[in-house]
Structure formats: C-alpha cells, structure tokens
Structure 1
C-alpha cells in the first residue's frame, strides 16, 4: 500500500461508521461520509491513504492538492512553535516543520512545498526548501525551447520557477507583464542555460517568433472586438497589458507586423482592421 497516494483497496467489512478496507498494512477505515452509494463487500475502491490526527491509517475519496513526491503551492491555515499547517484539501492539514521552512509564515499566506514521506516518523510532511528535491541532472534543452513552468516563489530579482518539473529557472521582473501567483503553470521559453545549470526564462518567444505570435494574438482580439481597439503605439503600457496581456514593446512589434501585411490602419487613438479583414 502506498501511503500518501491513491490505492485500489478491497472492502473487507462494514461497520456503523464506515467501511474497513483490506491492505498489506492491515485493515483501514474509510469513514461513512466517503463511502460511495451502493458499495458492497468485496468491491474495490480507489482511495487516498494518509494518517489521521491520531496517526492512524485512514482512507478518503477526497482529492488532495498534492501527493507525495509532488510540488504544490498551498495556503497556510495555522502556525505554531513547531511549524505550520497547510490546507491540502483533506480534513487533516499537512504539516510543514519549522526546520523545513525558508522564512517565517503567517496564516493565509501561500507557500511552495515538496510533499514527501518522512522515513523516520512515517508521516507525510512538507518542505518549503523545494529546490533540494529537483533531480541533479543536466538540462538537455537549449535556448528557445518551449517549457512548462511552475511559479514557485517571488524575490527581488523575479520569480523562481520549476521548469518541466525537473529544473530551476528564473523569470526576471522586467520580463513579466502579467500578474503571477504561486502555483501558476504558464508556458515559458528558455532564454539561456547558465553555467550553474539554472535557466533564464521568458514568457514570450524571442525575436521574430515573438512578434509573429503577438501579431496573431492582436489580430484575433481585433476581430473579436469588431475591428477596432482603442490602442496605439502611444498608449500606456498598463492599458496595453490589461487588454492584450503583452508588453508595450511586444505590442509595437505586433503592430508593425500587421501594418506591413496591410491588415491594419494606425492612428494616434486606435488600431483598426483594414476593411474586409
């Protein structure tokens, strides 16, 4: 049986307060409120197994926000002298020991953690020093590659991110033109692979590819808006970002691309599709 993960377990017997499921580690309780209607003795159920507040093995059909060996951005429910307690979607909160914290936490704050099974206590715990759990392997990609990101933190420099679930990267503040939240999973692009193996990341494609993508986005928004937008190369960066989710620099590249194609008319107050587009 896998503690901290989902298991297919057989129903052994029924009691007033639920069902007991059989496993290699002995029978464990599935409380009545989690029992699917119509379940019979001998049926097999997919359940998540963890420990309750008295350290007893218990099953649930609730979906946790993270299983063991996964990264997750979770909300702090409470703090104490020994650590913090995180909401991970189950009745019993996930424990983040004080020694595993990167900085002092407060209730309501989000924190990125790695969830693991502590071999000494046989308990599921969290560690906010998540970079320790990234595999020590060389990044085999190259600049320009599209990657999947997990926003793990925010610092003075930018947003540390987990790249493809395996490597550490950084989104610099001056490369980010939209709000980001811990746990967001945007698509990104490798700017460069640094000598220390870490990655510089951007949310936009570099160079000409970036301009083409932005031009397609702008064209689509113009069509949906009826052919005109109150934006031009004189517009404020915040107005451009709010409507298009791109920087003013990228917007101007997109405008230039569409203008060269003869698809838009430009004025100081607006951008308008050429009639017939």
Structure 2
C-alpha cells in the first residue's frame, strides 16, 4: 500500500517521458517526476520516496524530505495566508495548508509555528493544524515513570512556563523558574520526567533526576577543567548564566557536581574558582 504523507519504499517499474513510475507489492503505482529521478535509478531498483499530493491533488512521489510527516509535529514557517487558511514551508514544492478552522490563532507570515500534519480522509489531502492541545493527551501513558528520558518539543508559553509535546503524544510542562537556558516554540530537546501529578499530568526537567545527573555533569566539569589548564573561574557565587555559558548546566546542578568531585578529592575549591587536585 502506498501511504500518503509517509516515506514509502517502492520499486522502479518503468521510465516514461515524465518520470519513473514506482510500485508497491499490491500493484499500485505512482509517478516520481524526472527532476527527482536519480541518475543511477534503474527499473527493478528500490527507492525510498515521500508521497503527497500535487497542486491538482494527485498523489505524487518525491525524493525531498519534508520537515514533518503524517501524524507528527514539526516547526514550520508561515509563508503566505489566504481567506481560507495559511501556507507553511515544509521543504516541498507544494506548501502545507493549515485551514482557517485548524488555526488556534491567526497565523502570521514570517513566523514559525508548531504544526501537526494530519490526513483528511474525505479530500485525500494532507493538512496542518496548530490546535495542539486537542491533538495530544493531557495524561501520561501508564508505562511512563518518574526519571524517564523523553523527547519534548516546545509549542506554547503559559503563565507557569512552557508546554511541550512529549514523545509525540502527550503534554508536559517545564516550569519557567527551573529553566536555565532559553527555549523557543519549536525547539526539540531531551528532557526527563520530574513528576507525574495526581491528575496524570507531567512536569519536565532539562536535567536527569538525582545522582544520575551528578555523574555525567561531574565528568563534564572534569573535561572542561582538563581543557582549561586545570582551572575554572566558577564558584557557588557565580552568576547562573555565566555557569550555563561555560558548562551548559544549571547552577544547582553545578553545585551538586562540584560537591561530588570535591568529596572524591578530584578538585579543590578556592575563592577564585575550582582546580584539579
């Protein structure tokens, strides 16, 4: 079956004046236009292509890779608007349409938004949506545990902090007062489950929990010391942003890691900074 909105591995069937026709095991075929046919492609070869619909709503194949595929979320820039919707650049010749009724707020040309790529079974078209909250779960899946590593994509700023799409399926929250680096809508980061609340909602952290975060950060500090002639001008009185710029970690994590290194007698602590022992 050839799936619209997804990458498909198909077989080259026959070359024509307009391009190579590709087919699947069910005897369905689709055109890969000449401009995308690799010089080395021969009949009988397999090739991976992305399938979507062209300007006349006909299924078409391309070797280009879009920024988002069907049933996933991605950060896209709005390039044009019309009375019926907005057009997003997703890396293909035909822009992705976000219909007016699928916009959480009016989209503005030039701005970036987190877009869900869905499939409209009635029209056979791929469409985008910015109504993220209606497309993801409020509660964590049953197998999620505190401390688990996840992938989080920022999509919304709130009074508490930043909402994120976690593992492409449910909502998580980064609290503003716990963020030690700037994050913008669309940013995708590795994160950790800090807490699963009684209502099933998830609080996130950029740092792993407990000792698991001390050990790798302690090693990062040692590596930085070794690369800096054994000295770093950082102390527990240093500005958090100075620590982050030097080590990409929060001040709290820095202090925990330095404490662990000091107890292991790998560093000494002075008024002007830390040194290798």
Q: Is the 8 A contact 1:139 1:167 kept in 2?
A: no
- Give the equivalent residue in structure 2 for 1:265: 268
Which residue does the alignment assign to 1:108? 110
Pairs within 5 Å for 1:72-221 = 72-134=74-136, 138-221=141-224
Instruction: Note the alpha carbon deviations across 1:148-190, whole angstroms, 9 max, x for none.
Output: 3222333332221122333211011111111323343322221
Q: Distance in 2 between matches of 1:9 and 1:142?
A: 39
Aligned residues: 274
Displacement of 1:73: 1.7
Q: Is the 8 A contact 2:9 2:48 kept in 1?
A: yes
Which 5+ residue runs of structure 1 have no aligned equivalent? none
Secondary structure in structure 2 of the residue aligned to 1:221: helix
Q: CA deviation at 1:38?
A: 3.3
RMSD after superposition:
2.3
Report if the CA contact (8 A) 1:87-1:94 is conserved.
yes
Query: Retained in 2: the 8 A contact 1:147–1:189?
Result: yes
Q: Counterpart of 1:52?
A: 54
Question: In structure 2, how many angstroms separate the alpha carbons of the residues matched to 1:204 and 1:22?
Answer: 47
Gaps of 5+ in 2: none
Greater mean deviation of Cα atoms: 189-198 or 121-130: 189-198
Q: CA deviation at 1:92?
A: 0.7
Change (3 A) 1:196 1:25: farther
In 2, Cα distance between the equivalents of 1:127 and 1:143?
A: 30
Task: Flag the 1:115–1:17 CA change in 2: closer, same or farther, 3 A.
Answer: same
TM-score of the two chains, using structure 2 as the length reference: 0.88
Name the counterpart of 2:237: 234
In the TM superposition, structure 1's runs of 4+ consecutive aligned residues that sit over 4 Å from their partners are: 22-27
Contact 1:113 1:127 in 2 (8 A): yes
Write out per-residue CA displacement over residues 187-235 of structure 1, whole angstroms, 9 at most, x where no aligned residue. Answer: 2221211233210111123344433443232122212222111212222
* TM-score, scaled to structure 1: 0.88
Greater shift, 119-128 or 76-85, is seen at 76-85
Distance 1:25 1:185 in 2: 39
- Deviation of 1:107 after TM superposition, in Å, equals 2.2
Shift of 1:82: 1.6
How many angstroms does 1:255 deviate by?
2.1
Moved more, 135-144 or 98-107: 135-144
